[in-house]
Structure 1
Amino acid sequence: MFNKSALIGSLLRRSFGTTNPLRQAIKNHQPNEMEKRFLVWSGKYKSQAEVPAFVSQDEMERVRNKMRIRLANIMIALTVIGCGIMVYSGKQAAKRGESVSKMNLEWHKQFNELKPEGGAAAPASTK
């Protein structure tokens, strides 16, 4: 029923279009300045002058993914460092006797003292 040569031919045609060397050979993406920097930072090229006018789409996607991962790792590291700084700052404030509740009480005390000076009388509560 099935023609063996037709089956092999269709498999070859199907796999030929998705082979990696062929996809890399098609260089149809023109990188902008930022993408050229990405290509250099990822180690694909030594300088921006060496980056060709057109690169393959697969190459550009791989470089973007590398940069995305690097940026995420940098943001994770900065978040951890920021958390460490906040913990240290909170411990120093606790040693000085500062707390959020004390700051809140002081603010309300100052607010209530300044309120009558504003000239507007507070509405009477209806309890």
Structure 2
Amino acid sequence: MLGKTALIGALVRRSFGTSKVLRETIKNHEPNNLERRMLVWTGKYKSPAEVPNFVSQDVMERCRNKMRIRLANVMMLFTIVGCAIMVYSGKQAAKRGESVTKSNLEWHKQFQEQREGEAAASAAK
């Protein structure tokens, strides 16, 4: 069973969690330099100097979510560009007559020659 202080603490936390006004007025998060830049990049403040020493947790959560979305979009863009570059380079290699099969056969041929050379050198000793 919960103690009296634990029960009161749970009720207080619950009331703070449900009241939007109280959550916005409680500014208990001290942003570091990266978080200050993130707040500027998301448009909440105009410069890092304008960011207050303490901001609310909700503001930081919204800022982090916006940055996650932007980062995911940038990563998708880079992936699409990378895929387009690889398709282009593959088509150019096909025009030159290069293929994975040919390079694999050449590698095996070189490996076999190297192995035969080593076998001949060890037999000569």
Check whether TM > 0.5: yes
Pairwise TM-score range, normalised by the shorter structure: 0.7 to 0.9
TM-aligned CA deviation for residue 18 of structure 1: 1.9
What residue in structure 2 maps to residue 65 of structure 1?
65
When the two structures are aligned, how many residues end up with a matched partner?
Answer: 108
Q: TM-score, normalised by structure 2?
A: 0.80
Aligned partners of 1:17, 1:71: CA distance in 2, in Å?
29
More helix as a share of residues: 2
Query: 1:34-113, aligned counterparts within 5 Å?
Result: 34-113=34-113
* Sequence identity percentage: 70
**Could you tell me which amino acid in structure 2 is paired with residue 18 of structure 1?**
T
| Contact 2:29–2:57 under 8 Å retained in 1 | yes
Deviation at 1:116, TM superposition (A): 2.2
**Cα offset, 1:15, TM superposition:** 6.8
Specify every segment of 5 or more residues in structure 1 that has no aligned partner in the other structure, as ranges.
1-13, 122-127
Structure 2: stretches of 5+ with no match in the other structure: 1-13
Q: SS of the residue aligned with 2:107?
A: helix
Instruction: Quote the offset at 1:104 in angstroms.
Output: 0.2
Taking a change above 3 Å as real, the CA distance of residues 110 and 24 of structure 1, as seen in their structure-2 partners, is same
TM-score, length of structure 1 as denominator length = 0.79
The offset of 1:118, in angstroms, is 2.7
Q: CA RMSD in A?
A: 1.7
Runs ≥4 in structure 1, deviation > 6 angstroms? none
1:59/1:116 CA distance change after superposition, 3 Å:
same
Secondary structure in structure 2 of the residue aligned to 1:115:
helix
